[in-house]
Structure 1
Amino acid sequence: MLAVTVPDRPSPPDGPLAVLVNPSASRGRHRDLLPHLLHRLAAVDRPVRVLTADGGAGAESACRRAVAEGAGALVAVGGDGTVHRALQAVAGTGVPFGVLPVGTGNDFAADTGFPTDPLAAADAVVAALRAGRTRPVDLARLTGAAGAPRWFGAVLAAGFDAIVNERANRMRWPRGPRRYDLAILVELARLRARRYTLRLDGVVHELDAVLVAVGNCASYGGGMRICPDADPTDGLLDVVVGGRFDRRTLMRVKPSIYRGTHVRHPLVRCFRARSVQLTAEGITGYADGERVLDLPVTVTAVPAAAHLLR
């Protein structure tokens, strides 16, 4: 396995604070809160540079540019999708990173210890910056057959949930959460187990499965604890596989994912590894809720790849 070296940066420099803002996070419900959050962040007594962009690719480019131009820290104001874009810029750089959770899903922020209240999170980020304090956490490095590597902080979905996301993204109607609900119904009607090949630290497992998730953190989808024992500081990835579920069993088990008790079901298997090679036909992975790469992919745990302001 190729080692990935992450530079050590124990204290933040005095460069400007770059703030990635997603005004549409949580469908705009927290837009009026943004001025108050920026006012709290300004208490750090250094320049605050607000980054806005149309779409995910633009946000990612803005973050990369800010880091390249010497940002002393980067803060993401949004949900897991906004965090995912920001992580592409800070991963492996040592640039301190903070999250103000105002999204529909805030799993990375919750699982790494940021306050759930965004104003309290802003105060925590400011306190960490003033003290020169960061806490290292692992990230997952994702590579596929082509293209640049991607990073994720929470969970890679590579089974039924990824298929539902792919269906929902192709639909033009209805709008909002109902589109996702309809996509679930359509894919439930088509539900079938697929053949997966997992190579975990070199050990091969051939499995038929409906659910497959690779977790750096425990949760995805706004609090579903799909990988309940995942720890973003242990240098390992948790892999949870739900086997040959039929429709009725899957829908009966799904609510237990919020509690993390689904792992007790006899059709669920759990693994832990530093490196995961995942192969299946016709699957596009979703990491931190964002569309990433078609399988096959390799996921590698990278210790201390991010330095959090908390």
Structure 2
Amino acid sequence: MTSDDIAVLANPTAGRGRHRDLLSGVLSRLQDGGRPVRLLTAHTGAEAEAACHEAVAGGAAAVVAVGGDGTIHRALQAVAERPVSFGVVPAGTGNDFAAGVGMPADPLLAAETVAAALHAGRHAPIDLAHAVPAGGPGRADDPARTVAGDGPGRWFGAVLAGGFDALVNERANLMRRPRGPRRYDLAILLELARLRPRAYTLELDGVDHSFEGMLVAVGNCASYGGGMRILPGADPADGLLDVVTAAPFGRAGLARLKPRLRRGTHVTDPRVTVFRARRVRLRSEGIVAYADGERLGPLDLEVTCSPGAVRLLR
């Protein structure tokens, strides 16, 4: 790969495969940026990350992720705080990072936007969040306390979930049946049956805000889960993380909260509190955190905002 190349990471199964036939059109529009386009080869998440790292190390002019938040999450590990441009073409189920940073929802239009920005030498500095196990990654006294993947921690662009939603994700990922969306629906029912408030240790810029509840999220962008506006005021270019917590809800109260999450109006509920901070320490027993929809690890994490960590082609 040369310094003129655009390295493209594409997930053909993103969005349950509905954008598979668009890839040739996306690649064609990216070529309009005046640079050679190379499609990276990867069959697993680990291979995708390795391919992106190799492309950046080889001097690629840009890395473009074509897919959903999971594909973007993989690419971010290679481009964060590196002098390489980054493009996003939303083609997944959720596309929350793409929406949060103002990319067009249409994949072909997004590819045209990326190509035009690359041709003009234009990029927007966008913040990222960085999560490491509290006390530092890979501590010798507790080798199980690691964040998914290799290297010191993980970057994420959208939202880290650490409450009921994270419990549902973990339950669904451990289930073999049923397949498809029904597995997630069953996981919700099973976790509702076990619903109880959790004790959270929460420090924001060194100030203790520990609480008991069942919902907590730390984010750089407004939404997760395909458009649920959990952090409606989040700005991915303000140098701060948004944090939302919720006091205990009963099952009925949690059910009533869900449609409000879609609109972002839940933040007006007196049981919901929103904070902003540069550094967040979050801990709770028995919860595995998810960020950008990807599994991170046990919830005893330090999350920091890195202002302008990625050069977004927009």
Residue 233 (str. 1) matches residue 237 (str. 2): yes
* 1: CA distance, partners of 2:24 / 2:210: 52
Residue 38 (str. 1) matches residue 27 (str. 2): yes
Q: 2:249 aligns with which of 228, 245, 249?
A: 245
Contact kept? 1:94, 1:305, Cα under 8 Å:
no
SS in structure 1 opposite 2:286?
coil
In structure 2, stretches of 5+ residues that fail to align are 139-145, 147-151
- 1:91 aligned partner: 80
- 1:170 aligned partner: 174
Q: State the aligned residue count.
A: 298
* 1: CA distance, partners of 2:65 / 2:290: 20
**CA drift at 1:14:** 4.8
- Residues 153-232 of structure 1 correspond to what in structure 2 (within 5 A)? 153-232=157-236
Residue 285 (str. 1) matches residue 274 (str. 2): no
* 2: CA distance, partners of 1:21 / 1:272: 33
SS in structure 2 opposite 1:45?
coil
**CA drift at 1:57:** 1.3
What letter is aligned with 1:302?
S
Contact kept? 2:3, 2:59, Cα under 8 Å:
no
* 1: CA distance, partners of 2:156 / 2:25: 28
* 2: CA distance, partners of 1:173 / 1:293: 23
* 1: CA distance, partners of 2:202 / 2:10: 37
- 1:303 aligned partner: 307
- Residues 58-69 of structure 1 correspond to what in structure 2 (within 5 A)? 58-69=47-58
* 2: CA distance, partners of 1:204 / 1:125: 42
What letter is aligned with 2:90?
P
Residue 28 (str. 1) matches residue 32 (str. 2): no
- 1:106 aligned partner: 95
- Name the TM-score, length of structure 1 as normaliser: 0.94
**CA drift at 1:293:** 2.3
Q: 1:272 aligns with which of 276, 287, 293?
A: 276
Contact kept? 1:105, 1:222, Cα under 8 Å:
yes
Residue 140 (str. 1) matches residue 129 (str. 2): yes
**CA drift at 1:219:** 0.5
Contact kept? 1:14, 1:46, Cα under 8 Å:
no
* % same residue: 65
- Cα offsets for 1:15-68 (capped at 9, x unmatched): 210000100001111111111111111122222110131121111111111111
Contact kept? 1:226, 1:258, Cα under 8 Å:
yes
> How big is the alpha-carbon RMSD for the aligned residues of Structure 1 and Structure 2?
1.1
Contact kept? 1:22, 1:52, Cα under 8 Å:
no
SS in structure 2 opposite 1:285?
strand
What letter is aligned with 1:254?
K
**CA drift at 1:243:** 1.3
SS in structure 1 opposite 2:243?
strand
Q: 2:105 aligns with which of 100, 105, 116?
A: 116
What letter is aligned with 1:212?
V
* 2: CA distance, partners of 1:69 / 1:165: 36
- Cα offsets for 1:138-158 (capped at 9, x unmatched): 000111153421000000001
What letter is aligned with 1:74?
V
What letter is aligned with 1:110?
A
* 2: CA distance, partners of 1:199 / 1:30: 41
Contact kept? 2:3, 2:58, Cα under 8 Å:
no
